Amino acid sequence: MGWTGPLGDGSTPYAVKGSFPGHYVPQIVVSGSNGTRLVAVKLIPAEESDDYVRQLAG
């Protein structure tokens, strides 16, 4: 569950915390109706992820 856009009456921010098994790969394949692309992946440690996203947001 989530939202896009500004919060309105009756909306409350929430946080999700969790983990899932997986492994780092340096590239992934993204494929859609407009083509297939190889995308480089940047490894960001979990404890740095919030700061990284804030930095991107400006």
Q: Summarize pLDDT for 1-58 with one digit per residue, the tens.
A: 566 667 677 777 777 777 778 888 999 999 999 999 999 998 888 899 889 989 988 8
Where are the extended beta strands (E) located within 1-58?
27-32, 35-40
Residue type, 4: T
Name the one residue in this structure whose structure tokens are 């999700």.
Answer: 16
pTM of the model: 0.45
Yes or no: say if 36 and 29 are a contact pair by the CB < 8 Å rule: yes
Name the one residue in this structure whose structure tokens are 């856009």.
Answer: 5
CA 2 to chain centre: 13
Residue type, 20: F
Residue type, 52: Y
